[in-house]
Structure 1
């Protein structure tokens, strides 16, 4: 217009590199602020203490400190693998953890599927409150309750005519550990599965009902396949903790009568490290636990990816 040549508008260059990251940070800066306490927690209580792993390769002396203690290489690992008590504790750990994985891992899934089929919201909330409540009690409190209920002298089992408490019977103590943990944690574990179920498209259920599918068919062909990725991820994480079976529970419930079937690596490390003062030996045992857990985590994640599921990474 007016005889002047038109000037094309300047195109803005797309952001890349640091400029793009800075823009994203400014856009989501409040989310990063909310994330900061969690990052600080892991940095202070999970990553910073990892410097103490070097104790496993040193002849640690409390007065000399970590840096002043002499290096001894793999000495403590050789002593660890030659100790008969270590293999007993490892065997108990694997057996108890295997029982908990087979029995306790599917329990929250089954409970979530059952709660999802309840249409009465009031009844559903009551049941959820009842099954969630034990999670918020410490094992110290629950241990006192269990000792009172299963005491052979004045507990509930005395009224049933049972003369031997499962807390004092080596043959049933492991089963008691598994079932008591299920009672405590099963309800809390359903939260993740119920959240995954709530994200399923309702149109899938409506189409299946039109085709004549029963409730069992809906669960089998819609609900379970849709939450399969959540189940796999939690299974991978659980497998990484295969050598950690719950120190608090066993430490509260076990006693000399069942020591041979209940002494696990967690209590073994505690007994050697804190009560006997063999810090380097206990650190070597704890490092062995972490190494095996990491190895199983990597293998399980690889198997899940090979089977077509989405792993942790």
Structure 2
């Protein structure tokens, strides 16, 4: 399936078949945009069918990098499989997993714009039908994407790399005269590529009924597991507090007179609800961290006194001046 604009058809081919465009939009400035599903390791090519009746030149950009220019004469179909490195050889285009690095100071070539990664763009210009042969054309050097910082939020993204050199149809280079200003092309095609799973997660590709059911079951199962884990933690910490309180009471009875029971300080608990949704209890103070602005809402409970029953041991008045040892043997 191709994108069409003013008699020009554009498609991205994998294994000789065009990728299905999703979310196609056309704008008044002659720009057509869409999404396609890319697969890591797959080589691809671009095709242009010129039914406009005009000679056109195409500038091809991938991930913000200029790859090459192509002339498409009226009534012909042009295919671009890679970057020419000689008159009969080229390095094919290939979808690859984008490399991420935890080094925020990684230095990229000035030709790499992180915001353009994942974008195929073709700018079309009207040209004069008269062309001249270009001499001594040198192979174009394409900047490589060695990695982008994790903070760039490109996790799971793909990029375009160049495969090993392979034989290609003979390439001829020529000089052309542009009829459109270079800052205002005749038309543009902008195709963003991502994995099919990511496009489905973004709602660009509609999920099947089976996939929707599986997703809902997965979310429901995660909620149940999280709820069960939180309940287990609550029970465990509650038991530990009760055991700790009982131990303190026994020690207090041993250290002080049997006619007095000391009251311990109230324990301090808090629940820290961070972005990872983990739950820990060590105090009665509850803090909720807002993931948007990191403000903390303090829901501290007012401290309450712990009333403990009196000791069941009664000491006769005649023994008030004696020391009674209640320590276990």
* TM-score (norm. length: structure 1): 0.23
- Structure with bigger strand share is 2
- Structure with bigger helix share is 1
* TM-score (norm. length: structure 2): 0.22
